[in-house]
Amino acid sequence: MVRINLNYLYKKFRKWKNGLSRNQGSILIQLRSGHLPINTYLKKIQKCKDNPCEWCKEREGWLIPKTVNHFTLDCPAYKEEREEMKQKLG
């Protein structure tokens, strides 16, 4: 059985995270935990009554839940931002 040294993974992540600003680090943790203030999470904590992506619902008629994956990878509303990020990250 392969053993994973969780301390090493955490230390590596922490070292990488320490290069980020407080705001960037906060957003990263929210992304990783799924606790961004987007509809799916807000519905879970009872701060909104439904969770479809407003952009997709209004323009495309789709009732797609606004999840972290949809928000960051699929939503047409953020296509330009994704392209810019891809160019910057290589």
- pLDDT given at position 79: 93
Contacts of 50 (CB under 8 A, 6+ apart): 39, 43
pTM of the full predicted structure?
Answer: 0.57
- pLDDT given at position 4: 55
Across the chain, how many H-helices and E-strands are there?
A: 6, 0
The predicted-structure confidence for 19-39, as pLDDT tens digits, reads as follows 778 888 888 888 777 777 777
The predicted-structure confidence for 34-86, as pLDDT tens digits, reads as follows 777 777 777 778 877 777 888 888 887 778 888 888 888 889 998 999 999 88
